[in-house]
Structure 1
Amino acid sequence: MTQELTDRTPASDCHATGSTCRTAGSACRDASGGAAASRGWWRDAVIYQVYVRSFADSDGDGIGDLRGIRERLPHLARLGVDAVWLTPFYASPQADGGYDVSDYRAVDPLFGELPDAADLVRAAHALGLRVIVDVVPNHTSDEHAWFREALADPARRDRYHFRPGRGPDGAEPPNDWESVFGGPAWTRVTDAGGTPGDWYLHLFAPQQPDLNWEHPQVAEEFASVLRFWLDLGVDGFRVDVAHGMVKAAGFPDVGAAEQATLIGSQPLPFFDQEGVHAIHRSWRALLDRHSTPGAERIGVAEAWAPDSERLALYVRPDEMHQAFNFRFLKCPWEAPAIRTVIDESMAATHAVGAPTTWVLSNHDVVRHRTRYGSLRRARAAALLMLALPGSAYLYQGEELGLPEVTDVPSHLRQDPAYRRTAGQDGLRDGCRVPLPWSGTEPPYGFGPGGSWLPQPADWAGLTVAAQTGDPHSTLELYRAALELRRVLPGLGSPDAGPLCWLPSPEGVLLFSRPGFACTVNTRPERVEMPVPGRPVLSSAPVEPGARSVLLPADSCTWWAV
């Protein structure tokens, strides 16, 4: 089927700053983040997320650990990423995969010891990889020393949010806030003598009581924690629930049910409050004091906001360096929607002098191969993401084309939302199944024992070993893309020049940057269009001709121009 070329772009819509667009009928958007913006390593870095318990196991207990990660770092170096982000490996009862921290300065025995963390950082640096670690400031574990003190002594409860209940006997929660994992966001404690006492706030599991950031000791403690890990050598922090540390004054009711579905779409009294930005500014100042040119220590905000403009507030020059672009992650496989998200994301971050950050998958969402409905679309989406100006995040296993595991046995699931209602779907274990490295049957080289979640029996063809050297494999596609991203100046870097949208057929996106063009066909059939340049990489075989080219269905192609 042939699609006629149509111009769907306003002829005078040029957003470039400090550059001239010379392509008629195009729409250009400046990707630089402002002429005076810092040119730090993080501006176009490709950062690989490691879910620690599912990456590699060194001791045979079926759970990934720090030593296992260190042994597998050569895979990441060969892949071509710039940095590694590690999910929490701190001391924890593991009520929420380590996001319930009982000691922020200790390594949980499941994952090793503190010297293992130091060895991992040194080994990564030796391979040219930077290391970013999670920090969890919204809440602690209920086994943290502070919370134990609070339970033992009501006078020591001001570092958390304890409130009397409503009703004549205080038997109702203080307000109608719901946990992200489902159910009330409040749990009542029992005081001495078995007397029902106050309620404490937990926006997540009951084992994760929220901290009160109005208490000065909380800010002092986390500044100390950041310095501890910076002194150990880490290059930055991914800030968990960066939008949640401050709650609206008076703790007003939301007035709606199923509040987890409203996160990121409308204002809520427990998320995205103005007060969080003061915390981020103090952390940015701390990170800057520990930075040198070329060796900046960075902060990455996991922040859900109602729109791109609100999200951009988290990456103003004196706040975080990056914020996850969840609008891009949630965008459907439709050309108009994709272009809108790209335009709005870049416009918002440019307004505050920051580059945009792109992400397709992580440990909290269904893998994008499954979300998009096919490996073909997942490969195309990956090439699109890696072509966009700014920084990109890869989630472990996406370079292998792993699908979501949807049949994890009920008794093995560990997502705390699984057995709660009206919150997250509780199925996050499906994207956390341990990686397949080699071999023809589970655990596929994950470790000398089994794996904490079962791996599918049909993953033999998806292992790192099986895909290495296969020019048609997803792994080799990622390796080729990351190698080209380093050598083609128009790829990735937000400082290389504007992104210009060019006329294209319906359902096809075409944009150019200096020396480079990218086409994305979101349609389920081939589309004919004029040849935009010399093809250098494609997610599916392209059929070029002298004057036109047949773009494969659901594909992305990079062109040298």
Structure 2
Amino acid sequence: MKSYVFFFVIFSYAIINSQASSLRLFRERRADDPNETQKEFWKRGILMDIYPRSFYDSDGDGIGDIKGITEKSDYFVDLGVEMIWLNPVLKSPMKDFGYDISDFRAIDPIFGTMEDYENMLKEMHSKNIKVIFDFVPNHTSDQHEWFIKSVQNDPKYKDYYVWKDPKGYNSTGAPIPPNNWVSIFRFSAWEWSEERKQFYLHKFLIEQPDLNYRNPEVVKEMNDVIRFWLDKGVDGFRVDAIQNLVEDVSFADEPAAANSGITDPTLEGYYNHIYTLNQPETIVVVRGWHEILESYKDRFMTLEIYDEDVKVIMKFYGNETNPVSDFPFNFFFINKLSGRSDVTGTRLKSIVDLWLDNMPKGKWPNWVLGNHDRNRVSSRFGTDLIDALNMLVLLLPGTGVSYYGEEIGMVDAVISFEDTQDPAGINLGPDHYTETSRDPERTPMQWDDTENAGFSTASKTWIPVNENYRTLNVKAQNEASQSHIKVYKDLAKLRLKKTFQFGTIEFAVATDEVLAFVRSYEGSPTYLVVINTSAEDTTVDVQNGDVKLPDSATVVIRSSTGYQRGN
């Protein structure tokens, strides 16, 4: 394999003189903070997405749990991760693995107890690790007490969900759905209730009925849920599927999407979702949640939003006088890079510019490579690029977001249809399940080379462990002289320096093969990041770019293959 030149150099002097435009610079410095430390924890640390079912199994039942996460608290400390975001652990029938919640105030027994949660929070906080909870407001489980009573037309709960009469009846007397809206998981988004004689809306599974946020009582209920967990001590929320929260009152048919290439009208991608996504009322509801968080000390909220239009996403920041969230997740490294061939220096720069140039004044950026819903970074872009891409997201200005396993370069597993758990894959059947199943990126964490990768002592885990675990695991990489995890740890330490916490960014070089940028901050060392995105060794003259650079410098961090540090 060719060696790649992904490394950092530290200049022999502190400041770079440049006149780059403000759109190409980013600086966050608090005039009221003489010690120059980030007061907001979510600006300082790395946020790691933890899929609880797959992180660590403490009781040998084959499923990861809260005690398992607690037992691994020292791992986060050693890694340099200061925030963990837990995918749902609340009570659920698990039709969508926790995203169908039947009680917003209870821990599901699969993951443990409320006492386990409280112990985890205490342990994490004792080690200065913040805990972020998944908040799933768009829908509940069909087994939630609210929905059961809504089906029964209980006066209090009858309008807690989105109910509509049929458009009519077909020749056999079967009710016709109110419109052509489809579920994210395929087929109609409407399900008939024989008991109530109406359809209810479900943008996800049939077992996930949508809440009605035009009902003030629903807004109040969810406000109370947020307060419940804040009072319990949770440090913030990642809010799920926020674009879906409110629907247009016309309930009109949605038009087909132009040039989608999808010909099957039962699939979500066939339509342009002008009536079911990003309704203006959604912003109002989310702003109310942010106001609740502001009434507590040092709390945080981020939003899940997938949209091609950067202007739509930026609305979910709000502005300095009317904030909506601390930041919406930046998924452009996911959405706009379809594979290895897309990863070029010019492409990466354009994505960074797109976010920074459109971000509202005074707001904070973030960078995401992968998560529990997307194929793993190493599988999308190549195992040789994992160090380079980790360097990119962890040392750009803003908050770096990682998905567990990215620190060791985990790849997607091959999961048979018989072992498939994800309804998104099961709904497409054995011939097409791999097109949408999220199971390959959700396999158990690979801790060592023992049975089940050290994840569980069970005879069978909830989903198979990736077969490569005997060579790709945390223990092996910690013991190796060079490895992905060692690069990650060095990055986590480096990003805490003032230059990366507060400094400017300037691009020195951006070609199809190379991206190079400089981070600098007055009175602190200046760093150059050079990333080779090509599949070959590349020579680049970084002094021939737009930024003045010295004649020599020292390698501080490099990829796990490449030039030695200290050269």
- Aligned partner of residue 346 in structure 2, secondary structure: helix
- Paired position in structure 2 for 1:310: 312
- Post-superposition Cα deviations, 1:161-219, rounded to whole Å, max 9, x if no partner, equal 11112234572211111111111111111127xxxx21111000000000000111111
- Alignment TM-score, normalising by the size of structure 1: 0.86
- 1:509 aligned residue (498, 501, 515): 515
C-alpha separation in 1, matches of 2:31 and 2:42: 16
- Paired position in structure 2 for 1:391: 399
- Aligned partner of residue 101 in structure 1, secondary structure: coil
Q: Residues 350-499 of structure 1 correspond to what in structure 2 (within 5 A)?
A: 351-372=360-381, 374-405=382-413, 407-421=414-428, 425-440=435-450, 442-449=451-458, 450-487=460-497, 489-491=498-500, 493=501, 495-496=502-503, 498-499=504-505
Once the two structures are TM-superposed, the CA of residue 32 in structure 1 deviates from its matched residue by 3.0
- Paired position in structure 2 for 1:277: 283
Once the two structures are TM-superposed, the CA of residue 448 in structure 1 deviates from its matched residue by 2.4
User: Residue 260 and residue 534 in structure 1: after superposition, are their counterparts in 2 closer, same or farther (change >3 A)?
Assistant: farther
What amino acid sits opposite 1:436 in the alignment? Q
Structure 1 gaps of 5+ residues are 1-19, 545-557
What amino acid sits opposite 2:383 in the alignment? L
- Alignment TM-score, normalising by the size of structure 2: 0.85
Identity %: 31
Q: Is the 8 A contact 1:260 1:424 kept in 2?
A: no
- Paired position in structure 2 for 1:549: none
Q: Is the 8 A contact 1:139 1:209 kept in 2?
A: yes
- Paired position in structure 2 for 1:184: 188
What amino acid sits opposite 1:308 in the alignment? V
User: Residue 445 and residue 275 in structure 1: after superposition, are their counterparts in 2 closer, same or farther (change >3 A)?
Assistant: same
- Paired position in structure 1 for 2:274: 268
C-alpha separation in 1, matches of 2:144 and 2:31: 44
- Aligned partner of residue 88 in structure 1, secondary structure: coil
Q: Is the 8 A contact 1:180 1:423 kept in 2?
A: no
Aligned pair count reads 510
C-alpha separation in 2, matches of 1:509 and 1:503: 6
- Paired position in structure 2 for 1:548: none
CA-based RMSD of the aligned residues comes to 2.5
- Paired position in structure 1 for 2:254: 254
Once the two structures are TM-superposed, the CA of residue 559 in structure 1 deviates from its matched residue by 10
C-alpha separation in 2, matches of 1:34 and 1:443: 46
Q: Is the 8 A contact 1:45 1:390 kept in 2?
A: no
Q: Is the 8 A contact 2:422 2:439 kept in 1?
A: yes
Q: Is the 8 A contact 2:247 2:275 kept in 1?
A: yes
- Paired position in structure 2 for 1:534: 554
What amino acid sits opposite 2:388 in the alignment? A
User: Residue 262 and residue 364 in structure 1: after superposition, are their counterparts in 2 closer, same or farther (change >3 A)?
Assistant: farther
C-alpha separation in 2, matches of 1:280 and 1:424: 34
C-alpha separation in 2, matches of 1:511 and 1:27: 15
- Paired position in structure 2 for 1:126: 126
Once the two structures are TM-superposed, the CA of residue 505 in structure 1 deviates from its matched residue by 5.0
Q: Is the 8 A contact 2:327 2:365 kept in 1?
A: yes
What amino acid sits opposite 1:536 in the alignment? V
Correspondence 1:345 to 2:355: yes
- 2:334 aligned residue (329, 347, 360): 329
C-alpha separation in 1, matches of 2:253 and 2:130: 43
Structure 2 gaps of 5+ residues are 1-14, 33-37, 257-264, 521-525, 543-548
C-alpha separation in 2, matches of 1:87 and 1:36: 36
Correspondence 1:52 to 2:47: no
Q: Residues 96-115 of structure 1 correspond to what in structure 2 (within 5 A)?
A: 96-115=96-115
- Paired position in structure 1 for 2:149: 149
C-alpha separation in 2, matches of 1:27 and 1:231: 41
C-alpha separation in 2, matches of 1:272 and 1:262: 18
User: Residue 247 and residue 424 in structure 1: after superposition, are their counterparts in 2 closer, same or farther (change >3 A)?
Assistant: farther
- Aligned partner of residue 99 in structure 2, secondary structure: coil
Once the two structures are TM-superposed, the CA of residue 313 in structure 1 deviates from its matched residue by 1.4
- Aligned partner of residue 63 in structure 1, secondary structure: coil
Q: Is the 8 A contact 2:344 2:514 kept in 1?
A: no
- Aligned partner of residue 462 in structure 1, secondary structure: coil
Instruction: Decide which moves more: 21-30 or 297-306.
Output: 21-30
Once the two structures are TM-superposed, the CA of residue 461 in structure 1 deviates from its matched residue by 1.7
